Structure 1
Amino acid sequence: MFDRIALHTLAADACGLPTDGLVPAANYSRFKYGDGQVSMTFGRALADRFNEIVDPRPGERIFVTSSGYGAVPPAARSLVAPFVARMRSLAPSVQLQPLRVHRLGVSPGDYAAMDLEARAQAVGAKSMHVDPRIDVAGARVVALDDIRVTGTHELAMDGCLNEAGASWIDHLYVIDAHAAAGRPTLESDLNEVAASSVADLLAIADSPRFVPNARLAKRIVSSSAHEQEAFLRGVPVSVRAWLLDAAERDGLAHVPAYATGLRRLRLVSARLDRAAATA
């Protein structure tokens, strides 16, 4: 059993997100690439909506998770902390606990640009699991995610959470775009509204509470050598180190869509290191 709640619902004929309101197009795009300030706004708003609609019972045991992931968290993971903090202020008697859903493997490309068949192959029915040492049996689970388009990821989450024994699953989205699922580039277009250039990405990286994520890592890995160098020159050394580490931990070297870009990124980073050492 489950409920589905969203901050914004796109109609089938919608051209995109509004420029203002609760989920402005630019803010959503910045959130997808690591703007932690926007994550806080969305996470708190989801908590407000959940508390208003669901009205959890005093003492109820609730786990809060994001979309499943392997090594490097997606943007959706940055919603968990502000959601939990807000819920603890709204419903202090509820027993809230963050939960991680583990995902096997990594998408063979940009999931946002995939059609239904490719998404089903990327996120199979058995691709998600919960650590068996965590007792989810009988508890409610709130699954936070950025967008619902085809519902493929939601089905995979339901499968693993039901298998873990969850009594109820609430899916909370920043955007519900299921009505427009027939437009294959919709999600990708929404992601790029305020992140179409290296300058845009550098502005996000320079924002307060910047939280780099898997989407940013894949985007930089997939960029040209010129774009990679511009990004690496513009961010702190700590972000550069995070980027290379994230690519390694997510196994991008073994994914054909990213392998060449990662080799290029390593060369660019090494060249910048040599230049800094001789300056």
Structure 2
Amino acid sequence: MSSVYSLHKITGVDAFTFNPADYSRFKFGDGHIAESFGHALANGFLEQHSNELRGGKQLVILPSPYFAIPTASYAMAAAFKKTINRYLAINRLPVAEEAKVHRYKTYSLDYGELDADSRLNLILNDKYYLDSHFLKGKLLIFIDDIKITGSHELVIRNLLKQFSLEEETAYFLYFAQLDHEHIHPRIENELNYYFVKSIHDLSVIIASGNFKVNTRIVKYILNAEFTAFERFITRQTAAFREQLADLAISNGYHEMEEYKNNFLHLLTITHQNTQIWLSTYKKDNAQTLTSPNLP
């Protein structure tokens, strides 16, 4: 059995019951907004589904799939879990567990720019995994920030069947959902970049005091025009640059041609400032790439 809940419905291109600038900041790592979204989603969900939670079944919260770097919804799911756990504890119910939808492929394309068919074709080429032994017999809550075409939800539903979990109670929760079939899916991209118009807008979010790095941020920075990237990255702390380089490597972005120039420059200045070195890396059947400023 499965059910879908969304806190907000998008019924028009300008019909938002939430602040689109806040949503854009959330997508690019504003932890304060992620927390407020997560708490609001949990409270809205409890208003409609608290009776189902009182059955005493073990809850498991699963943020949207990711490989090594979490998505923006991971921070929102963490805040959701806090609010849900307070409710469960007060009612002397088992507190929620957390699990991961493992994803084994990543890409450089901006998902929000694609139409419905392109989205589906892209994610169907990914590989996913669920720990069926851990999830069996539990109430599953899948959390994502927005539902536009339902492609990701379809992937999860297929995964539940693949891992013999289709009989488990599952909820698909979204902060917002597109509720008008004639609105183009690119509205997601418009929301994503409502506040962030250039790489330099990220500095405000990074300095906000509760910055949560995610895969969108890493890709956006590495894909920036080189002059803008160079100016932006030199203004960041050494710790931020080191974290960015390590995260890029963990998700395989160092092997993507689109990110090559910015990544090598990042390695150069990271080496100079922290003495952490990575002089070369190889792609299968490709020429070794070397930063000229590294030994």
Normalising by the smaller structure, the TM-score range is 0.7 to 0.9
Residue 84 of structure 1 is matched in structure 2 by 81
Among 39, 54, 71, which residue is 2:49 paired with? Answer: 54
Match of 2:160 in 1: 161
Question: Which residue does the alignment assign to 1:101?
Answer: 101
- Rate the CA distance shift 1:251–1:229 in 2: closer, same or farther, 3 A: same
Any unmatched runs of 5+ in structure 2? 276-295
Contact 1:229-1:269 within 8 A present in 2 as well: no
Alignment partners' CA distance in 2, 1:138 and 1:276: 48
2:196 alignment counterpart: 195
Cα 1:185–1:16 change in 2 (3 A) is farther
Q: What amino acid sits opposite 2:81 in the alignment?
A: V
2:261 is equivalent to residue 270 of structure 1: no
8 Å contact from structure 2 (residues 199, 224) kept in 1: no
1:150 correspondence with 2:145? no
> Partners of 1:164 and 1:231 in 2: how far apart?
48
Q: Deviations over 1:110-155 (max 9, x none)?
A: 11111222211221187321135x5211211111111101100011
Of residues 214-223 and 53-62 in structure 1, the stretch that sits farther from structure 2 once superposed is: 53-62
Measured after TM superposition, the shift of residue 184 of structure 1 is: 3.7
Deviates more, 1:47-56 or 1:87-96: 87-96
> Is residue 5–residue 173 contact of structure 2 (8 Å, CA) maintained in 1?
yes
Which of the numbers 28, 31, 37 marks the counterpart of 1:36? Answer: 31
Which runs of 5 or more residues in structure 1 are unaligned? none
Separation in 1, partners of 2:44, 2:105: 33
1:91 Cα offset (Å): 2.1
The 3-state SS of whatever aligns with 2:24 is helix
**Partner SS for 1:65:** strand
- Pair 1:164–1:222, CA change in 2 (3 A): farther
How far off is 1:234 after superposition?
Answer: 2.6
With the length of structure 1 as denominator, give the TM-score of the two structures. 0.88
**1:15 Cα deviation (Å)?**
2.6
Moved more, 45-54 or 31-40: 45-54
C-alpha change, 1:263 and 1:126, in structure 2 (3 Å) is closer
- CA distance in 1: counterparts of 2:82 and 2:69, whole angstroms: 22
For 1:89, give the aligned amino acid: R
Is the deviation greater in 49-58 or in 180-189? Answer: 180-189
**Inter-CA distance 104–121: structure 2 relative to 1 (3 Å threshold):** farther
Give 1:109-188 correspondences, 5 Å limit. Answer: 109-124=109-124, 127-132=127-132, 134-162=133-161, 163=163, 165=165, 167-180=168-181, 182-188=183-189
User: Residues 2-59 of structure 1, C-alpha deviation per residue, up to 9 Å, x if partnerless?
Assistant: 2111121101x333635xxxx3111100000000111110111111111111111242
1:184 to 1:88, Cα distance in 2 relative to 1, 3 A:
closer
Q: Which has the greater radius of gyration?
A: 2
In the alignment, is residue 247 of structure 1 matched against residue 245 of structure 2? no
Is contact 1:232–1:269 with CA below 8 Å preserved after alignment? no
Residues in 2 aligned to 1:186 and 1:153: alpha-carbon distance in whole angstroms: 17
CA distance in structure 2 between the aligned counterparts of 1:272 and 1:99, rounded to whole angstroms: 33
SS in 2 for 1:123: helix
Deviations 1:183-230 (A, max 9, x none): 142111100011112331110111121111000001011101122122
Query: TM-score normalised to the size of structure 2?
Result: 0.83
AA partner of residue 48 (structure 1)? N
**1:146–1:175: 8 Å Cα contact kept in structure 2?**
yes
Q: RMSD of aligned C-alpha atoms?
A: 2.2
The 8 Å contact of residues 205 and 235 in structure 1, kept in 2 or not, is answered as no
Question: Residue type of the partner of 2:19?
Answer: P
Aligned to 2:8: 8
Aligned residue for 2:60? 63
8 A contact 2:112–2:189 mirrored in 1: yes
Deviates more, 1:153-162 or 1:71-80: 153-162
Determine if contact 1:68/1:157 at 8 Å carries over to the other structure: no
